[in-house]
A and B are shown apart, each in its own frame.
Chain A
Amino acid sequence: EPEVTQTPSHQVTQMGQEVILRCVPISNHLYFYWYRQILGQKVEFLVSFYNNEISEKSEIFDDQFSVERPDGSNFTLKIRSTKLEDSAMYFCASKGDRGDNEQFFGPGTRLTVL
């Protein structure tokens, strides 16, 4: 069964460093998302991406964040200068078509900022 994959599973970085979180969505999907979950809190929307551009972003997704689909398979989230409060689980999700509502999530990347 097709699935969303994410790498790395755990990333530890120093405050102020740049990190890139990688995702491979399900191959025929067209809509891509990033969410995050701070420990003990709910899953929060960060950004949606369709047709090679951002379709919506949340207040959390400030200038320190960017997304890219550099080739036909990868979808990346870059945090330019990490802060302590960026420590969270980051989930990538994808869905097939506008008519679909079910988003399929990857296993997540645990980001720890020291």
Chain B
Amino acid sequence: DQQVKQNSPSLSVQEGRISILNCDYTNSMFDYFLWYKKYPAEGPTFLISISSIKDKNEDGRFTVFLNKSAKHLSLHIVPSQPGDSAVYFCAATSNFGNEKLTFGTGTRLTIIP
């Protein structure tokens, strides 16, 4: 039951360009979405989040866009830097039920110098 999907297992982007990572969800009860970054042998690190009452949230080089009607969100990183190379997980949760996070399968982002 893949309630959160990241259809691109990997992505390579030239340094300085924009990285766009995508995520789709199926559960209409999800109303809060998060992006986590993960390096090998480390735990997921919180990056940025967005509530369903918004369609955009920006924090420095990172912007998350939410399209509720399409049940789609995306993470934009601009400009991309070599240190951004990691696995990025999309996660979703519901404010009105349990608070567990449901994760996507992740996208491995490689920034090419």
Chain A interface (Cβ < 8 Å from any Cβ of B): 4, 6, 31, 33, 35, 41-45, 48, 55-56, 58, 91, 93, 95, 98, 101-108, 110
Contact = CB atoms under 8 A, between A and B. Distances in A.
A56 to B, nearest CB: 4
Given A42-B105, A43-B89, A101-B49, A4 B100 contact: no
Contacts of A55: 98-99
Contact of A42 (B32, B95, B104): B104
A67 to B, nearest CB: 14
Interface residues of B, number: 23
5 contacts: A42-B103, A48-B99, A55-B99, A108-B41, A108-B43
Nearest to A47: B100
B98 A104 contact: no
Contact of B106 (A35, A42, A105): A42
Contact of A102 (B34, B95, B102, B104): B34
Chain A interface mostly: strand
Interface of B: 32, 34, 36, 41-46, 49, 89, 91, 93, 95, 98-106
A43 B103 contact: yes
B103 A105 contact: no
Given A42-B103, A42-B106, A105 B98 contact: no
A101 B32 contact: yes
A58 B100 CA distance: 10
